[in-house]
Structure 1
Amino acid sequence: MKTFIVNSKNPSSFEETNFKCPIAKGRDVLIRVKSIAPCEVDVALRTKRVGEVIGTDAAGIIVETGRDVKGFRVGDEVYYHSDHSREGCHSEFHLINEERLARKPVSMSFEEAATMPGSTLLAYESLFDSLQVDPEVSRGKSLLITNSRCSVSAMVVQLAANLTNLVIFTIASNDEEAEYMQAMGADYILDDSFSLDTQLKHYGLKRVDFIFSIVKEYDDILRIRSITDRDSRATYLISSQHENEVMNHFDSRLNFEQDFIFCGESQCSSLENQGERLKEIAELIDAGAFESLLTANLGIIDEESLAYAHRMVENDQLLGKVVLNYSE
């Protein structure tokens, strides 16, 4: 089977090789991968997993089931977020435990479905578990998303717009970002080049209730102090590349509730009830609640296109997500 491993001499590139197709045992299913969507976690894994198969988000068709599998059968079309402790989905065939996947949304193609699992799982955890937003009592409260060039931010907006009554603010650096976040469901767009507190006053607010922020440096946290008070709550998503830089400067005396989600090798891999949550998300997608995050399709996967997709993610070159396919 066609497989792509991280190049041991140059971890920013990949090497195509052929492995023997694995056999599904126990509660594992064997999936013929149709589409993959490289993400920030994959970028973080490259330097830690040289010479190995990585890859996190995918969609495909089950071609074999282990004898203990109860919820799926051969021919099911599924989407999923991989277990990082095992080989990833940068491979034509992929083994995964049935608890980690769900049938893909009927209304989405394989390409569209592959963009959804990781970003949606993290967004759901951020909004409802970490920020503790209660949809039943959210009317009149405000949510600020500080980074528009992140698929998780886009899903936080979609979840908040469709499942809560929050007033949603996002920050944009240009018209492209502003239009994208409005399409995702944001109510108001703040200009990244101006003072946040001044802009919020224009909407009659002195502070926001909830903040979701992609943090790359400690200044990203300091910036929101002027729009918080002791009743505010913030969740920060921090990649493994920026964890030390941020946490070495963190001041716990900031007087509002703060929570950190560290997006590295284990994050999302250990989320409980992934399959059940992805099933719920698929139902919401088919009901028309959410849009796909797909914004770029690079076609058939090879060494060059896979490396290019990783560079696009690493360098924040696109809004939404990029996909590659194993067949037409």
Structure 2
Amino acid sequence: MNDLMPAVGYRRKLPISDPESLVDAEIPVPVPGPHDLLVRVEAVSVNPVDTKVRVNVDPGDGLKVLGYDAAGVVVAVGAEVTRFAIGDEVYYAGSIGRPGTNARFHAVDEHVVGHKPESLTFAEAAALPLTTITAWEALFDSFALTRESSGTLLVLGAAGGVGSMAIQLARTRTDLTVVATASRPESRRWAEELGAHHVVDHRDLVASVRAVAPAGVDYLISPYTAGNIERYAEIVRPRGHIVALDEPEGLELLPLKAKSISWHWEFMFTRPLFLPADPTQHELLEQTARMVDEGRIRTTLTTRLGPIDAANLRRAHELVESSANIGKVVVAGFDR
């Protein structure tokens, strides 16, 4: 293995239309720590967090490598690794506190890694980890749902990555009625194919939800919270629950008080950042891989680009920033 490897990152905060917004580079191959795996990256996917970091986080004097989802092969392990061996095929979302996956080799803590579903290609697997973890933590940590849980779940932005996984996990692991929001015919079809019982138009949220759930919903996943709190107060039932995935400025939650509606934040990097030895994300990715191989969960890959280089990652960022993409954008393979 050479001491240097190809990677893609940024040196200045720039709009994605600028050719310098993401650039090709050569950087040192990382050295795995005691609990780290060194993974030869075969595919990555792009999430909204990638685009948010690119436009908001100053890289300082060096190159900042983005990328949180990855699938690849373990080529080295740290001295204290117990869950994986060289040659294992893996998938994971990593940590926002470490260098990203948009590189030929990547070091990642074994506690947040799962064995790749055997039935999926690397590209198909790379679409899953971050959104699966986010949806899983919302449903089963914040909402504390079980296989016996019933009631109604509203998933906003259902054709996006997290929404796509929330629909599937709720249908597979609970007895909830799933209501999804989508406005375009193609996004409606996608949500229906993934298992949503009802698909409604978010542009008239209160009326469209009331049409299929007259008594309101018990649980709500919100990736687009700004300007919606009063609507949520109308459609969420008393003692209901909301999980927010975004971070709108000046958020005012007082309209939720009269119904004693519980508010939860979901940030899938909380465990890697603050609970690094917690194996929960490893375990949920293992369970998800089994469900995929059993045919109960499907990949959300819809757009595949390649190889992994600055030009293709800029295109992937453009698609994600458009907010019109269905499912996940994956970039796979290296030709350098």
What do the CA deviations read for 1:242-285 (whole angstroms, capped 9, x no partner)?
4324x2x3325352323232548x44644742111111111111
Q: For 1:113 and 1:188, how far apart are their aligned partners in 2?
A: 27
Q: Secondary structure at 2:64's aligned position in 1?
A: coil
What is the aligned counterpart of 1:128 among 130, 135, 140?
A: 140
What is the aligned counterpart of 2:89 among 77, 87, 92?
A: 77
Q: Secondary structure at 1:59's aligned position in 2?
A: strand
Q: For 1:163 and 1:288, how far apart are their aligned partners in 2?
A: 14
Matched with 1:175 is: 185
Change (3 A) 1:204 1:180: closer
CA contact (8 A) 1:116 1:292 kept: yes
Structure 2 matches for 1:104-119, cutoff 5 A? 104-119=116-131
What do the CA deviations read for 1:292-322 (whole angstroms, capped 9, x no partner)?
0100001212212111211211221311100
Q: For 2:57 and 2:203, how far apart are their aligned partners in 1?
A: 36
Q: Secondary structure at 1:324's aligned position in 2?
A: strand
Q: Secondary structure at 1:17's aligned position in 2?
A: strand
TM-score between both structures, scaled by the size of structure 1: 0.90
Matched with 1:61 is: 73
Matched with 2:248 is: 243
Shift of 1:195: 5.4
CA contact (8 A) 1:233 1:256 kept: no
Structure 1 residue 232 and structure 2 residue 240: aligned?
yes
Shift of 1:149: 3.9
CA contact (8 A) 2:66 2:100 kept: yes
The letter of the residue matching 2:175 is N
Q: Secondary structure at 2:245's aligned position in 1?
A: strand
Q: For 1:262 and 1:156, how far apart are their aligned partners in 2?
A: 13
CA contact (8 A) 2:125 2:299 kept: yes
What is the aligned counterpart of 2:313 among 292, 306, 318?
A: 306
Change (3 A) 1:143 1:69: same
Change (3 A) 1:284 1:28: same
Change (3 A) 1:146 1:212: same
The letter of the residue matching 1:124 is W
Structure 1 residue 295 and structure 2 residue 305: aligned?
no
The letter of the residue matching 1:304 is A
Q: For 2:188 and 2:301, how far apart are their aligned partners in 1?
A: 17
CA contact (8 A) 1:92 1:326 kept: no
Shift of 1:7: 2.9
TM-score between both structures, scaled by the size of structure 2: 0.88
CA contact (8 A) 2:198 2:212 kept: no
Q: For 1:64 and 1:204, how far apart are their aligned partners in 2?
A: 52
What do the CA deviations read for 1:84-138 (whole angstroms, capped 9, x no partner)?
2111101110011111211100011100100111100010111111122232142
Q: For 2:271 and 2:317, how far apart are their aligned partners in 1?
A: 19
Structure 2: 5+ residue runs without aligned partners? Answer: none
Shift of 1:61: 0.5
Structure 1: 5+ residue runs without aligned partners? Answer: none
CA contact (8 A) 1:24 1:64 kept: yes
Matched with 1:209 is: 218
Structure 1 residue 10 and structure 2 residue 18: aligned?
no
Structure 2 matches for 1:257-272, cutoff 5 A? 257-261=261-265, 263=267, 266-267=269-270, 269-270=272-273, 272=278
The letter of the residue matching 1:214 is P
CA contact (8 A) 2:129 2:285 kept: yes
Matched with 1:284 is: 291
The letter of the residue matching 1:178 is R
Change (3 A) 1:202 1:24: closer
CA contact (8 A) 2:309 2:334 kept: no
Q: Secondary structure at 1:224's aligned position in 2?
A: helix
What do the CA deviations read for 1:28-76 (whole angstroms, capped 9, x no partner)?
1111000000111212222315231121000000111122222211111
Shift of 1:325: 1.4
